[in-house]
């Protein structure tokens, strides 16, 4: 059995498998983290990966589908959830034992990053929520005291704007996913360190910085840039939240939001937050505290942001 460990906030994540291909694949996915030696910290979750073995819980698929995410279906168990794809690869997430057991059909690795980027991410989200780390689909970027969350659905421009601000001296915390954590009366955003996936169009915008990055090859629509290539920060204290929407105009428009409007837009970005009643209230309270800590704006992204991403701050008085 091979194992590596890394830390997300104050939670140690242990990944174990006896298959070398799975080990190398998943370790590469978490390569932006600093791998650490064995530790006895009490906050610890474990991911066990088994190659070519069938899940013992497939009978639970008779239960109603709890959610669907692409080809993956989720089912509620008494003490967690079951993630299943094509009835060949599954992950059993056991919140009571702080562990997830993955049963992998090795052919799934040929599909690119589906296993590690979806299965493992969802399993981590489910386990970490029970340690006070609440998922939010958002980018986070910081320069001095100007710390910003960028929220929005897929293809809303989070990555493009994050890279644009990074080119203007901002440090990257994450371009796509953060974990919100309450410490005292303050909400921190802890970056989920993953490689940055970019489209051909975004890559062309920053070709001088990433000229050694190969464009995506069909049928894939995106290529990746290693997270470690960016100037980064592990966590930020958010002070501003922008909800991005693609705009059809040349000029970017920014509108202030009331707290109720902001909450209604944050909730859809918190994947699976209502799976367990013991964490749903805490998750809602964390989002509410975030809103009281920040100023929120709706941003209709114009084409002018591609040339000067700092435009996003002009109308709100930030530099």
Residue-wise pLDDT for 120-134, tens only, equals: 888 999 899 999 999
Residue-wise pLDDT for 227-250, tens only, equals: 999 999 999 999 999 999 987 788
CA distance 63 to 252: 47
pLDDT tier at 44, thresholds 50, 70, 90: very high
Identify the residue with better confidence: 111 or 103. 103
* Domain residue extents for the chain: 2-131, 135-314
pTM here is 0.92
Q: Shortest CA distance to 4 belongs to which of 18, 25, 22, 23?
A: 23
CA distance 212 to 205: 14
ω into residue 251 within 30 of 0, thus cis? no
pLDDT tier at 211, thresholds 50, 70, 90: confident
Class of domain 135-314: alpha beta
């Amino acid at each position: 059995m091979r194992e590596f460990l890394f830390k997300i906030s104050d939670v140690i994540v242990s990944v174990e498998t006896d298959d070398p291909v799975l080990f190398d694949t998943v370790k590469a996915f978490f390569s932006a983290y600093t791998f650490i030696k064995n530790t006895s910290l009490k906050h610890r979750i474990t991911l066990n990966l088994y190659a070519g073995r069938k899940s013992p819980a497939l009978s639970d698929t008779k239960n109603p589908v709890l959610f669907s995410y692409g080809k993956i279906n989720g089912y509620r168990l008494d003490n967690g959830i079951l993630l299943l794809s094509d009835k060949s690869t599954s992950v059993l997430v056991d919140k009571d034992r702080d562990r997830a057991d993955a049963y992998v059909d090795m052919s799934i690795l040929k599909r690119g990053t589906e296993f590690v980027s979806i299965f493992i991410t969802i399993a981590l989200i489910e386990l970490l929520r029970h340690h006070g780390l609440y998922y939010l689909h958002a980018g986070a970027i910081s320069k001095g005291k100007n710390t910003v969350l960028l929220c929005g659905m897929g293809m809303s421009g989070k990555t493009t704007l994050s890279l644009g601000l990074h080119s203007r001296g901002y440090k990257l915390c994450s371009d796509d996913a953060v974990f919100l954590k309450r410490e005292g009366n303050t909400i921190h955003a802890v970056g989920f360190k993953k490689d940055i996936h970019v489209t051909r169009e975004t890559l062309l915008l920053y070709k001088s910085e990433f000229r050694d990055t190969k464009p995506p090859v069909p049928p894939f629509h995106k290529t990746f840039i290693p997270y470690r290539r960016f100037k980064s920060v592990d966590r930020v204290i958010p002070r501003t939240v922008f909800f991005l929407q693609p705009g059809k105009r040349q000029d970017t428009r920014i509108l202030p939001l009331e707290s109720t409007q902001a909450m209604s837009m944050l909730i859809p970005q918190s994947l699976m937050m209502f799976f367990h009643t013991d964490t749903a209230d805490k998750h809602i309270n964390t989002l509410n505290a975030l809103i009281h800590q920040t100023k929120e704006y709706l941003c209709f992204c114009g084409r002018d942001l591609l040339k000067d991403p700092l435009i996003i701050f002009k109308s709100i008085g930030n530099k």
